[in-house]
Amino acid sequence: MESVKLEQYRTLLHALGFRATPVRLCIIELFHKAKKPLSIAEIQDDLKNDADLATIYRIVNALGVAGLIKQVDFQHGHAHYELATREHHHHLICQKCGKVVDISKCDTSGLEKQALKIGGFAKINSHSLEFFGVCSSCKNK
Ligand SMILES: [Zn+2]
Ligand SMILES: [Zn+2]
Ligand SMILES: [Zn+2]
């Protein structure tokens, strides 16, 4: 998907069969402004009294099924999510302070060729890939 401007999400929600309720738009705006993938707890922190956890879960799940957001695994024991409308990228995650850096350079063609051969698959549709390590400021602590 191409990158999408905030004003376009209302239309996009409609196109996906959702009503553009304030809470849905709020959640999408949060994702849009976020510098890194958000957990459900972080979303609820921001929405405070506007939506309870169950509502947020339900909306995030539905948006996930619709393909508007996708899950990212930071190995935190809970899921993080980001807009699937963003350009393809990976993440570099500091295991000490939680800093997240987007890595937009992606060349997995060699790996994919290998995977197809090993698995005997006809086609690979997508991949997700995160890197875990220690950032330079944590290393110097
Ligand atoms: Zn987390
Ligand atoms: Zn760090
Ligand atoms: Zn990639």
How many angstroms does the Cα of residue 77 sit away from the middle of ligand 3? Answer: 23
Asked if 60 contacts 30 with a C-beta cutoff of 8 angstroms, the reply is no
Q: How far apart are alpha carbons 108 and 23 in whole angstroms?
A: 37
Nearest ligand, CA 137? 2
Please give the pLDDT value at position 141. 84
CB 28 within 8 A of CB 9: yes
| pTM, 2 dp | 0.84
Q: How far is the CA of 22 from the centre of ligand 3 (A)?
A: 33
- Average pLDDT on 23-50 reads 91
Model confidence pLDDT, tens digit, residues 107-141: 999 999 999 999 999 999 999 999 999 999 999 98
CA 50 to chain centre: 22
pLDDT, average across residues 5-9: 78
- The pLDDT mean for the chain works out to 91
How many A from CA of 82 to the centre of ligand 2?
A: 21
Q: Examine the pLDDT at 2 and tell me if it is beyond 60.
A: no
Distance (angstroms) between ligand 2 centre and the Cα of 93 equals 8
Which is higher by pLDDT, 11 or 81? 81
pLDDT in the model for residue 7? 76
Q: How far is the CA of 131 from the centre of ligand 1 (A)?
A: 15
CA dist 88 and 103 (Å) reads 9
